[in-house]
């Protein structure tokens, strides 16, 4: 049993101490108030479509920029037939293509109805639309990628990647 003597200071027994030792308490600080800015839609700082960071297709990412540049090369060399199966399309094993169209997910902001209308007017064949998240999935003509990326409500454009089988050993099983 513990002693209640405690040198006259009414100390409790160490085994029954309800409060933590002041030296063991956590020092918590409150976080300062922060306001996050809404950057809004992408605003390019130059007209170079190959510029992945600041160009008009920067919000579409490197893969779609490469597909667009490949498509321009395809057109410069005659551009007959389907771009999806063309030797100029270096992204065909990675991204979904159908003819001269590429599969994309487009994230928007603002009024969902207005956004869908703008996408359709830019040539997007919308296959699925999530109003809550404002994401459209569909096919867009490769030539229309700059128009879709440049819409006032477009936040970003992402390619629909093709499934890749893997052997589990770090490399693809089939190509």
Report which of 116, 82, 107 is spatially closest to residue 97, judged by C-alpha positions. 82
Residue 128 has pLDDT above 90, yes or no: yes
Residue 68 has pLDDT above 80, yes or no: yes
**What integer pLDDT is reported at residue 35 of this predicted model?**
61
Please give the CATH number for the structural domain made up of 58-159: 3.30.70.80
- How large is the average pLDDT for residues 40-55? 85
**What integer pLDDT is reported at residue 79 of this predicted model?**
84
* Choice between 9 and 109, residue whose per-residue pLDDT is larger: 109
Beta bridge partners of 139: 103, 125
State how far the Cα of 73 lies from the Cα of 49, in Å rounded to an integer.
13
Q: Are 126 and 140 in contact, with CB atoms under 8 Å apart?
A: no
- Both tokens of 170, joined, read 């770090």
Residue 132 has pLDDT above 80, yes or no: yes
Distance between alpha carbon 139 and the CA centroid of its chain, in Å? 18
pTM of the predicted model as reported, rounded to 2 decimal places? 0.72
Average pLDDT, the chain: 84
Degrees to nearest 5, angle at CA 110 with 104 and 115: 45
Report which of 173, 134, 163, 161 is spatially closest to residue 64, judged by C-alpha positions. 161
Residue 102 has pLDDT above 90, yes or no: yes
Residue 27 has pLDDT above 80, yes or no: no
**What integer pLDDT is reported at residue 44 of this predicted model?**
83
């Amino acid at each position: 049993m513990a002693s209640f003597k405690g040198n006259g200071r009414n100390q409790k027994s160490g085994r029954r101490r309800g409060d933590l030792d002041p030296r063991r308490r956590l020092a918590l600080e409150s976080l300062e108030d922060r306001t996050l800015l809404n950057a809004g839609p992408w605003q390019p700082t130059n007209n170079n479509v190959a510029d992945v960071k600041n160009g008009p297709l920067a919000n579409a990412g490197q893969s779609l920029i490469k597909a667009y540049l490949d498509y321009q090369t395809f057109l410069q060399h005659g551009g007959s037939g389907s771009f999806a199966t063309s030797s100029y399309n270096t992204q065909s094993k990675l991204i979904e293509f159908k003819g001269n169209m590429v599969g994309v997910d487009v994230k928007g902001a603002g009024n969902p109805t207005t956004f869908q209308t703008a996408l359709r007017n830019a040539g997007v064949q919308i296959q699925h639309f999530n109003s809550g998240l404002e994401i459209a999935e569909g096919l867009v003509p490769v030539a229309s990628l700059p128009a879709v990326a440049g819409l006032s409500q477009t936040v970003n454009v992402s390619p629909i990647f093709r499934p890749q089988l893997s052997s589990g050993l770090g490399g693809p099983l089939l190509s």
